[in-house]
Amino acid sequence: MANGPSVHLTWDELACHDAARTPYPAAWRKDRTRAPRLAMAFEALRLACGGLPLLVVSAYRTPAYNAYVGGKPRSQHLEGRALDLVPVRGVSVEDLHDIALGLAGEARDREGTLLIRGLGHYAGRFIHIDVRQTVKLARWEGT
């Protein structure tokens, strides 16, 4: 995909939201544990929502931008493995979270590895999904 790692996810959406719009690192674009896996998780979630669009609120972050927004020091955003998402229409943030939770135990890559390994719920605001390299699903509620 020239414009992004998948049909519905662009490199611009994965870029840092800092003033410079720092691009998603080129070295990570083909790394199976980063952009391709993140795109698979995004597309699986979008499909599970009936194909409704999802808005990327945050993706890759530089260390400086992560600190600026109050991100965790070991955030998966720093590794290019996380997305904060809101539904554009048709489902609530809470419904999106519930759908993502169901996918966390089902959606797998070609090798059979579960895709969504981190899931945060920021009630009424957004959800966080990530493709961290762990077996156990990390879950939390944010503010």
pLDDT at 97: 97
- Segment 23-40, tens digit of pLDDT: 999 999 999 999 999 999
Find the CATH number of the domain harbouring 36.
3.30.1380.10
Domain hosting residue 111, numbered range: 11-142
Residue 28 counted as domain residue: yes
pTM: 0.95
Please, are residues 78 and 66 in contact by the beta-carbon 8 Å criterion?
Answer: yes
Residue 65 counted as domain residue: yes
Residue 30 counted as domain residue: yes
Residue 78 counted as domain residue: yes
- Segment 6-26, tens digit of pLDDT: 999 999 999 999 999 999 999
Residue 4 counted as domain residue: no
pLDDT at 43: 97
Please, are residues 90 and 83 in contact by the beta-carbon 8 Å criterion?
Answer: no
Confidence band, pLDDT 50/70/90 cuts, at residue 90: confident
Residue 6 counted as domain residue: no
pLDDT at 1: 54
